[in-house]
Chain A
Amino acid sequence: MYLVTAVLKPHRLEEVTSALKDLDVSGMTISEVQGFGRQRGHTEVYRGSEYKVDYVPKVRVDVVCDAADADKVADVIADSARTGKIGDGKIWITEVARLVRIRTGEAGADAL
């Protein structure tokens, strides 16, 4: 099993969610996160003075899936999240050592 983690522009979340539903993923977890990439944040204006904001708001999506589907999930997220502009985000895939469904105690792929 793999964990596909993506950090995206918040306004692309709806697209990504519906694309992942179309793919029949068993579930997804999202969180509001902040961070910077190569642009090192952005600037904002408040009461006439400009100031630097180091961390830009992003949405993080985590999907646990079967090994065979990991690449597909990552591709779907990339396609649906892409705007072609700076700050579209990143996707990375990590191996999951253990997975348990809390309600039943099922483990491994059964718990997906």
Chain B
Amino acid sequence: MITTLKLRVRDRESRRYFGAYLGGKMIGLGVVVLGMWALAWYFSTKAGAAMLSQEVTTKADDIVNPLNTVWVLVAAFLVFFMQAGFMMLEAGFGRTREISNIMLECIADTCLCGLLFWAFGFAFMFGSGNGWIGHEFFFLNGAPATYGSTGVAFLAFFLFQFAFADTCSTITSGAMVGRTAFGGDLVYSFMVSGFIYPIVGHWIWGPDGWLATMDTPFRDFAGSTVVHTVGGMIALAGAIALGPRLGRKFKRDGGGMPPGHDMILASLGGVILWFGWYGFNPGSTLSAMDYGGIGRVAANTTLAACAAGLSAMFFVYPRSRKWDTGISINGFLAGLVAITCPCYWVSPFGAVCIGALAGVIMVFGVDFVEWLRVDDPIGAVAVHGVCGIFGTISLGLFATGQYGLPGPTGADNSAPVEGLFYGGGTKQLFAQILGSAVVTVSVFAVAMVVMYAVKALGILRVSAEVELGGIDIHEHGAPAYHPEFAYMGHSAIPSGGAPHVTLPGATQGAPLRVGD
């Protein structure tokens, strides 16, 4: 090193380069020092001093409403990203021949849901009306600057709620993968996004919904019931109306679920959903000011998912002596679904308990759906339907009695929610059971009517020929996976390349013809 340094010093070119480099640094330093002097002089003058002492006078609303709006928008974007998670999860658990169909169903559902929610879905759900349905803000007409008392910009609130509605309609498609005709999908999605979800949602989240205005109000913080039970029950009705995929044999007939084609897609989809859930649950405070609530909800969401992923994984291990990837993904999703309702009102310990139970309940849910001979390729009924019900009821058991509701300027703990295990008695528990049961039964009944009506039109299911040949090619023109005519070798090419050699002893031969 020393010799190279000596060489450098002796070399004229190096000396010049070093000089220029040092000179440049010095000039830069000089400019900075001069600038500091100039600023110090300016603020010592009268004009400069006046500028510094100017007081910042802002009203609370000038900060609170924008902050709450930004928080709700960030959460809305995260919830929207759950679409990517659902698409990947459904694709991974599906078979190669039906992936293009799954992609377009999710995309079309999203587009359809956006327009329907703009036209009348939002009006039914969040407009004032009676206890059963809202009728205000059709086509977003007559919208105030902020929604209700939230202090959140009206359209930001609309976007957030659209992302929720979209989630619900996508859950449904998961149980119907592989055999639903695209036309039928559009028709039932119209009914789900336009009517079933907004009307049931109004009962719970609407300004004057009957479940929300009971003596002991039914509570669903971020939508275990509103989004997940509703989605799961419609999924169950859809899967029953459709019937199983051709060739599907159920466990009690000596078969099992056909394996999903890509566990990478399924796993990533699951984790993206988990990520999106950080908008779903913490964003449902609708208030950045309730920072304690946001932190608690985010932590509870995480803990429930962790506990549920592990409990499902360990619970199925003794059955097959295998660490089951698919069930573990459904496991943490079950924990997320369950904690969605109680996340604001329970302690981290409660969240772990709820998650751990949800992971096991989900496995029984999968078994039950399989026993019913209902073909649900991604487990939507067990994860969203069954664990949505469990999560909703769990609030009546685990609510700590410390927390009330988030408000635009901070938490309002004047009317805390208290569950059975924390000495709150059975009032909240009964409210939760009543709300969950009413929603579950009514949504399932209406969804059965809708699905069988679409079936009666003959557009719910594709023909056997289309299903066996691949729904992608028949409905969408091309398969999702379109390999080019090249073999993708997986062994490394040795450096230098292989020389072309012929075997020793190869002899010149006359052209041979078959039949010679």
Chain A contact residues, CB within 8 Å of chain B: 13-14, 17, 21, 24-26, 31, 44-51, 65-66, 68-69, 97-99, 107-110, 112
- Determine the residue in chain B with the shortest Cβ distance to A25: B503
A47: chain B residues at CB < 8 Å are 256-257, 324, 326-327, 330, 366, 379
Q: Check A24/B501 contact, CB under 8 A, given A47-B366, A49-B257.
A: yes
Say how far A26's CB is from chain B's closest CB, in angstroms.
5
B511 to chain A, nearest CB (A): 4
Shortest distance from the beta carbon of A9 to any chain B beta carbon, whole Å:
15
Decide if B491 is an interface residue (CB 8 Å cutoff): yes
Question: 1/0 per residue B318-340: CB within 8 Å of A?
Answer: 01101010110010000000000
Given contacts A45-B324, A66-B506, contact A98 B501 (CB under 8 A): no
Is there contact, CB below 8 Å, between B491 and A46?
no
Is B513's CB within 8 Å of the partner chain A? yes
Q: Give the interface size bracket for B toward A.
A: 35 or more
Tell whether, in the assembled complex, residue B324 and residue A109 are in contact, meaning their CB atoms are under 8 Å apart: no
Chain B nearest CB: distance from A50 CB in Å?
6
Closest Cβ neighbor of B93 among chain A residues: A47
Separation in Å of the A48 CB from the closest CB of chain B?
5
* B28 in contact (CB, < 8 A): no
Given contacts A45-B320, A98-B514, A109-B506, are A21 and B498 in contact (CB under 8 A)? yes
Per the bound structure, the CA–CA distance linking A43 and B316 in Å amounts to 17
Is the contact region of chain B dominated by helix, strand, or loop, or is it mixed? loop
A26 touches B363 (CB 8 A): no
In the complex the two chains form, is A48's CB within 8 Å of B320's CB? yes
Interface CB pairs A-B, < 8 A, 23: A13-B491, A14-B491, A21-B498, A24-B502, A25-B503, A26-B501, A26-B503, A31-B487, A44-B259, A46-B258, A46-B259, A47-B257, A48-B320, A48-B324, A48-B327, A49-B320, A51-B255, A68-B505, A98-B514, A107-B510, A108-B512, A110-B509, A112-B503
| Given A21-B498, A50-B256; A45-B511 close (CB under 8 Å) | no
Evaluate contact between A99 and B327: CB separation under 8 angstroms: no
C-alpha gap A12/B379 in the complex (Å)? 38
Residue of A nearest to B322 (CB): A45
Kindly list chain A residues whose C-beta atoms are within 8 Å of the C-beta of B256.
46-51
Q: Does B326 lie within 8 Å of A108, measured CB to CB?
A: no
Complex Cα spacing A108 to B508, Å: 8
A7 to chain B, nearest CB (A): 17
Q: Is the CB of B320 within 8 A of A66?
A: no
B504 within 8 A of A: yes
Q: Does B507 contact A (CB under 8 A)?
A: yes
Supposing A25-B503, A65-B503 touch, asked if A46 and B326 sit within 8 A by C-beta, the answer is yes
From A44, A45, A99, name the one whose CB has the most chain B CB atoms within 10 angstroms: A45
Does B410 count as interface, using CB distance less than 8 angstroms? no
**Residue in B258, B320, B330, B512 whose CB lies within 8 Å of A98:** B512
Complex contacts, B367 vs chain A, CB 8 Å? 48
Residue of A nearest to B515 (CB): A97
The answer to whether the Cβ of B260 comes within 8 Å of any Cβ in the partner chain is: yes
A46 nearest CB across to chain B (Å): 4
**Chain A residues within an 8 Å CB radius of B504:** 24
- Interface pair B509/A49, CB less than 8 Å apart: no
Minimum CB–CB distance for A77 against chain B, Å: 15
Given A14-B491, A107-B511, A107-B512, A49 contacting B251 (CB threshold 8 A): yes
Within 8 Å by CB of A50, from B258, B320, B506, B513, lies B320
- A45 to B322 Cα, complex, angstroms: 7
CB neighbours (8 Å) of B512 from chain A are 97-99, 107-108
Taking CB atoms, residues of chain B closer than 8 Å to A14 are: 491
**Choice from A48, A51, A97 contacting B514 with Cβ under 8 Å:** A97
CB proximity of A2 to chain B, nearest CB, Å: 12
A-contact bits for B10-54, CB 8 A (1 contact / 0 none): 000000000000000000000000000000000000000000000
* Chain B 359-399 interface mask (CB, 8 Å, partner A; 1/0): 00001001100100000000100000000000000000000
Distance in Å: Cβ of A64 to nearest Cβ of chain B: 10
* B320 x A108 contact (CB < 8 A): no
Tell whether A110 pairs with B508 under 8 Å between CB atoms, given A44-B259, A50-B256, A51-B255: yes
CB-contact partner of B513 in A46, A98, A112, under 8 A = A98
Q: Which residue from chain B places its CB closest to the CB of A17 in the assembled complex?
A: B491
